Every structure is written in structure tokens, then in C-alpha cells.
Chains A and B, each alone.
Chain A
Amino acid sequence: MQRKSLSNRLFQFGLICYMLLLSAIMLLPLVNVLCLSLEPNYIAIEPGRLHLIPQKITLKAYEDIFRNGQIMRSFGNSIFITVAGSLLGTLFTAMMGYGLCHTHIKGIHFVSYMILFTMMFSGGIIPSYILVKNLGLMNSLWAMVLPSMMSAYNVILMRSFFRSLPPELAESALIDGCNEMQTFVLIILPLSKAILATILLFYAVGRWNSFFDGVMYITDQAKKPMQVILREILIMSDNVDTSGDLDVGMNVKMATAFVTVLPILCVYPFLQKYFTKGVMLGAVKG
């Protein structure tokens, strides 16, 4: 085994220290939130100190959350929006990306530019609202899935990946009697698991965290997604005053925040590899 030089070891040590510091910076807010959620409210509201180790532990905040029907309903809504939005978004993004690879089709470049255009200019809140209203999607969970089903960025990523695949694969499938749809489903998609996982994860994270659409298009309290409810809880600052807002306590606010990030927190480490892998696949040969 080759002995490392002193400078090399120092560099490694510095690198480890730097990464530890970086990790601490990332982790401290999370630990802080977890600690606050586990403390009784009268301790959690104490200012002037960083809450990293609970002075006293109680699970009352979590009990309150799981007893609250509204939060559990919103959890279900978010799961539906995330699952439906991610699956449909990935499917249609893949279809569009594949279609855009066929540069021999007349007008395909114009379509590509149109897609690029949406990355720079959006319709804005009011046109989007009018569109959703006229589509009859107001107060429907589909309002959070359909209008923003595909992201132009992801379409381009997908197109770049498909372009990196040897065209001979599709050609041989066509010679063997497949039509375009069969070629896409039976040949192309199975070869694209990495990019599909990446895009799926992009969409899933985006959908889970999406908030503004929920505020704009959902009017029924029972249909609001988790992020909207979380925000409502977090801004409940003034305990029972004339505005009528009710304080739920700092510990409950933090417990809700923690419960909200938990699903992504659990899934992310296992799918993280697809992020780098998929993006590299799409980018290097784009």
C-alpha cells in the first residue's frame, strides 16, 4: 500500500473538516426543528438559545398532529398529488422528449423553441388562474397536477438522453415490426431507467413541496395539500387575539414541519444516486 505524503494527508484532513462543517451547517436546522418539536411549548418558545438537545421530551406535539384530521387529510392529498403528478409528468415528459428527438419531422425545431420559450417567460398568475378556472379544475386536486404536468427543463434533459441512445436500436425494432409506440415502450423506456428515476424524483420533490398552486386553486379546506396546511400552521403567530388566529404552539409548528419533510427525507438517500447518474447521462452527450 502506497504511503500518502504529508501534504496529501493534510489536504484530506482539511477536506474532511470542511465536509464535516458543511454537514453540520446542513444538519443543524433540522436538529433544531426536531428538538423544538420534542420539547414542551413553554420550553420551545424560549428565545436566546439554540435548541439542539431537548431539555424535556414530550411527544404531545406529534400526538396533536396525528389526532388532527385536517393534517392527515392534507397528507393524503399531498401523496395523491405527488404520485399522480410524478408518474404522469414522467410519462409525458418521456413521450415528449422522445418525440423531439425525431428531428426529421417538419416543424420539430419550432416546437423545441416553443418549449424553450416557456423556460424564460411564463403566463403569470392571472392567465394561469383564468385557464384553470375555464378548464373547470378549480378546487380539484387535478389543478395541482395537470397545468404544470411537464417541466421544459426536464423535457430537454430527457431529449438529450434519448439522443444519446444509438438510433440503430429503434431502427432495428422498426425493422422487426414494432410501431413507434411499441419501440418507445419496449425498447427505449427500459434503457432509460436512470433518467426516468431522475425525472421522477425531480417531479416528486417538486410536487411534494408545491405550495402556491394549492393556495390559488384549492378553496376547500379538505383538499388543501400538506404544504399549504404547514404554511398556515407556521404563520399562526398571534394566539387567540381579535384576528381570531389560534396559536398551536412552537412545538406543534415544528413537529408539522418535521412530519412534512420526513417522506422526502426517507426516500432521498436511496434515490440520490439517480440524480447524479441521470443528470450526467443526459448532460454529457447532449
Chain B
Amino acid sequence: MKKRLISVIPALAAILTLVSCSPAAPSSSASPAGQPSGSSQQPPAEQANYQPVTFHVMIRGTADTFGVPRTAEIQAKTVKDRWNIDLKYEMVDKNTYNEKVTAKFAAADFPSILYYGDAKVIQNAIDSKVFVPVTKAVMSPEYDNVDRQLYFIRWYQNGEYYGFNYHSGAPETINLRGDWLKNLNMEVPKNPEELKEVIAAMTNNDPDQNGKNDTYGLTMQGDLGMTGQFWSMFLPAPRIIPTKGAGLYIDSKDNTVKTILDDVPNMEKALAWFNSLYQEGILDPMYVTLKQQDVEAKFVSNQSGVWVKEIGGLPSRLAQIQNNVPDAEIVAMPPVETVSGVTNYDLVAFKSDCYFMTKDAPDVERGYELLKYLYGKEGIYAEAYGEEGVEYSLQGGAFQWLNEEARERSNPARVISSYLDLQLLDPIPVVENAFQAIQAMASWIRILPLTPQQQSPTTS
């Protein structure tokens, strides 16, 4: 027994060492799975002029787990072929992302490209020259039709762009069950009064026609998140989160920045509207206990008829509803003009979150090309649909999926939210309808207050 014990310990240590030293399973986030290594593959002509470099791209997200590793494969293969870049993604979940970035910065362990949003840290990184300008990528002709003043100005300093922002965020709209509206013989509401009538009918008139009084017109989060679109119908600023303040706007009368919290008359109107919903029993009284996922679950499980969601998130929710109600529809409410002349919907322009290239990028020039590819038309389509000829075909201009799994894994939201003028290859009716409903926004997009007062270079 004693001898056995003595012999077992070194044996276990040896096994552990062997196991840990054995090559890891191929990473879906690194070089493409199933692809021959660079040395055994004949390098394409474009790649021949470049020395191999590795770009570490740190991203907040989890898409690689169950998502579309094919995207990483396609992107990695393309950038290897064109610029001899070995693309290594590091995906960190959103709850620990900031901690990891802080630790990396403290250890001077910078990735080549970093997605980040903490304005203070970003400013420090720019000041200390950890982040290098990406002006060449931003000034790419592909973005000539993009309003750089609107989308890239957030990190424009000293004549250089530092942040590369590639999506505007499709607006979050007030969405309604279109099939319920049909059952109730009602039109899509256009103002708060009509919306209230719809909410009342969806609560009281059995909109799903199941003979039960089991629906509410409206439910919402207890912390009032995702309710800004309702408040903004009465107040002068969009993107309001009443419990978290914000809601800044420029008062054109005296040209000063004010907060909606000081706008007592309009705030009273907004509160009176919500209060009337509650008093009349058409607002789900359970809302005070609900979280974001509960509100969504009530909407997709036919318990409520109105829900706020970004346009890109609608198709998948509609598919879930259609599991139970095959003829279900979702329609977006058109924007309502606020008292200050803007809309109650808003785009997520000017947010701090951008891609930044750090001083540790192995080749800045190739870094520009990488950014332009990943977040340009090609990269976005690759991410949304996969590779032409493998996941889909465009023979004769007609789009067709080549396999069902690719269709299930497609992520058209990237196309929807891009500020590039991209068309959906595989049209999605609910999205098309939502965009039609908010067409009026096009003339209402306005620059958020507190914009840095630097001048953007003119488009070349």
C-alpha cells in the first residue's frame, strides 16, 4: 500500500504534465478550424509582400460560444490571405470586461485592437499615446457617404480620429402586436392618446381571442428602464431613464443645457399619462417587480401587447411568438414629435464605445486595413450571413441560403444597425415594416447635446 502510494504520486504528476502539454483543441476564435497552417499553404499573391503579424482583438461579447464561429473563420481566412494577419479574438463577457481591461492596462498588456467605452480611461489612453489615431481608416472612401461628424466625432481630437465606431444602433421603437390590432379593428397608434386607447383595448377586449381575460396592453420594467420612448412623447429629450437622471436637452429659448427633471409642466403630463394607465387597470400592476427579461417574456408569450425593442431584435422575437401563434405580427409605432421638435426615438450615436488601436498593434497600416475590412461592407456581410458560395448564393442576383444551419445562425442585425448603406440580402418583413414606420426619423436625427466642439475634417 505504501509503495503503491509512493509510485502513484509521481505517476499522477507525469500524467498531468502530459495532459497539460498536449496541444489544445483548435480554437474557433483563432486561426480557422480545419484550415491548413500558413506554412503548408501556398500564400496568395497579396499576402506574399507582408511579414506575418498577429493582431489581438479584444471584444466585449460571447458570440463565439454558441454563436457563429464561422464568422471568425471567414474573417481570419480573409485577413490572412490579404495581409498575412493572424487574427486572434479575445472575447470577454460584459460583466467582467472592464475589470479585465483595467488589469491589462495596469500590466501594460495591451491588445492590438480594443473595444471599449469608459470615456475617462479612453481619454487617458489617448493622452498617454496608448491609443493611436485611426484617421486613415475613418477617412476610407467607403465611409464617404457616412456622416463622420455624427458618428466619429466622439473621439476626434487634435486633428485625428481615435475611435472607430461602426454601428449607429438601430433605434429602439415602441412595438405592438399587429395581429392583436387586427383582431381589435384598430390602427397603429400615432400619438399618446391613441396609444392609450390601444393599450386599453389590448387589456379589456380579449385581443388574442382566447376567451380569457389574460392580457395586458402594457407592462414594463420596475426600474423604468426601456421606457424612455414613452416619457419622451411628453418631454423634450429622448433616451430618458427617469430613475437615472439624464434626459439632457438644449433649451432653444435661452440656448442652455437643461434636464427634463426641471421641466415640471411636461413631466406632470407624462406622469399623468402613466398614472391614468395604472388607475384604469390597463398597465400590468406587476410591473414594479419585473426585470427586462420578464417584460420580454410577457411579450413573446402573449401576455402583453406593447414592448420597446431595438429593430434588430424583432425578427427573433416574432419567431418565438409564432411558435404559438403562427399568424402573429409585430408592428412598430411611428415616432412621436416631442415638445422640442425631435422624436421620441433616438439613435445611439455619440456613444463612447468604439474600437481603438493601441500602440502595441504590430503594424498600424495593416491595422487600418483590418478595421476597414472587419467593420466595412465585407466584414459586416460575413458576420451577418457567412461566406458566399458556402452559406448562401447570389446567383442571378437572387439570394438563397445554401443550408438551414447557416440561416438559423445568421445575424442580420449587423446589417440593420450599420451606418453604411447596406441592404438586407434576405429581406425580413418585420424589419422592413419597422423601418418604414420610422421613416420620418430621417429628417429628425439631431446631434446630442454636449458634443465636443472640435471641427471634423471635411470628407475627401
Task: Tell me the A residues contacting B by CB distance below 8 Å.
Answer: 41-42, 45-48, 64, 68-71, 73, 80, 83-84, 87-88, 91, 125-126, 129-130, 133, 138, 140-142, 185-186, 189-190, 212, 215-216, 219-223, 228-229, 231-233, 235-248, 252
Contacts and interface: CB of A to CB of B under 8 A. Distances in A.
B103 A215 contact: no
B146 to A, nearest CB: 16
Interface stretch (B73-81, B91-99, B178-186, B253-261): B91-99
Question: Chain A interface secondary structure, helix, strand, loop or mixed?
Answer: helix
Nearest to A41: B320
Given A126-B103, A244-B411, A133 B65 contact: no
Interface residues of B, number: 74
B65 A48 contact: no
Nearest to B33: A69
B313 A241 contact: yes
A190 B2 contact: yes
B383 interface: yes
A142 B16 CA distance: 10
Given A190-B1, A242-B417, A246-B67, A42 B313 contact: no
B369 interface: no
A47 B294 contact: yes
A127 to B, nearest CB: 9
A172 to B, nearest CB: 16
Nearest to A91: B9
Q: Which of A42, A73, A244, A245 has the most CB of B within 10 A?
A: A244
Contacts of A186: 2, 6
B293 interface: yes
Interface stretch (B22-30, B41-49, B452-460): B22-30
B191 interface: no
A215 B93 contact: yes
B28 A70 contact: yes
B163 interface: no
A241 B300 contact: no
Interface in B283-324: 286, 290, 292-294, 297-298, 300-301, 303, 309-310, 312-313, 315-317, 320, 323-324
B310 A241 contact: yes
A212 B68 contact: no
Contact of B29 (A125, A221, A238): A221
Given A129-B107, A221-B91, A47 B301 contact: yes
A9 B74 CA distance: 72
B404 to A, nearest CB: 15
Given A83-B16, A238-B313, A240-B413, A233 B167 contact: no
Question: Chain B interface secondary structure, helix, strand, loop or mixed?
Answer: helix
B102 interface: yes
Contact of B28 (A48, A80, A126, A222): A222
Contacts of B37: none
Given A125-B102, A219-B88, A246-B66, 19 more contacts: A42-B320, A47-B303, A80-B16, A88-B16, A133-B109, A216-B103, A220-B24, A221-B28, A221-B89, A233-B66, A236-B65, A240-B313, A240-B413, A242-B313, A242-B414, A244-B67, A245-B62, A245-B67, A252-B66
A48 B287 CA distance: 12
A185 B413 contact: no
A245 B310 contact: no
A88 B17 CA distance: 12
Contacts of B89: 221
B373 to A, nearest CB: 17
A46 B301 contact: yes
B24 A130 contact: no
B27 A232 contact: no
A87 B109 CA distance: 32
Contacts of B442: none
Interface string B411-446: 111101100000000000000000000000000000
11 contacts: A42-B323, A47-B298, A47-B303, A125-B103, A126-B106, A185-B6, A216-B96, A221-B89, A232-B91, A241-B309, A245-B67
Interface in B83-133: 88-96, 99-100, 102-104, 106-107, 109
B167 A47 contact: no
Contacts of A240: 312-313, 315-316, 411-413
B206 interface: no
Nearest to A44: B297
B299 to A, nearest CB: 10
